[in-house]
Structure 1
Amino acid sequence: MNADSRHLSIHIDRPAGQVYAYASDPSHLPDWAAGLGTSIERTDGRWIADSPMGRVTVDFAPTNALGVLDHHVTLPSGETVYNPVRVIDDGSGCEVVFTLRRRPGVSAEEFRRDEAAVSADLATLKRLAEQA
């Protein structure tokens, strides 16, 4: 188990419930999570995304009142990656925290690229949420 991880966060000037409602809807993922995929569709009860790595399956935490947006991504290789994500109340706004874990075999440079991609996705989520 590789313990290298980064907690990437962004403050969004919108209530946590509003951001959670938007971000937890899988159909919105292509709008703000380009690192995950450019399109997503529900097929046979599963969410399938066209990602930079090929077609991936995305399984989300059940809808909840705690702001948990965790999801598992099954890569074309069959490897499943767990992604912890939280939307946390912060006054009249919220903070979105994504824990990026370095997978075995991922180089330091690849991990930096993953970190940059997640940070860009969070910035896009902020922009879209604050425009609403």
Structure 2
Amino acid sequence: MIVPKHGLISAARLRQEVHGITRVIIARTDGIALYDDVPLKERDGGAALTAALLGLAATATAAFGLGAARASMTVGEDGTIVFAAVDAGHVLAVILDPEGDPLAAGEAVLVEAERLRALSGMARTT
């Protein structure tokens, strides 16, 4: 089972590996936050949006015959969100500032998602 303490550890590891991470979110796929390292007043909707993005990525990869969605990123003018499915019930996301490296973040998020999946005891997404 993934607990909030795992989010704290994951966030520390990710920040150590990737420059420019401003936020780390672990959400359930139903949009409920399990971990979010910003102050409580800034958390509105982060988990729900992350879960929705994962759902859109899964729909797109299936529609194009690409198999299960592993990771995705959206690049904006002021930063990037990189997210990956942890298992059938969780998603891990990082927000990067404009100076962050999205490709390095993508690799780190996939590695950390696999660590979390091992802790969750749940199956991978299908």
Greater length-normalized contact order (CA 8 Å, ≥ 6 residues apart): 1
Bigger Rg, structure 1 or 2: 1
Name the structure where helix makes up a greater proportion of residues.
Answer: 2
TM-score when normalising by structure 1: 0.33
TM-score when normalising by structure 2: 0.34
Name the structure where strand makes up a greater proportion of residues.
Answer: 1
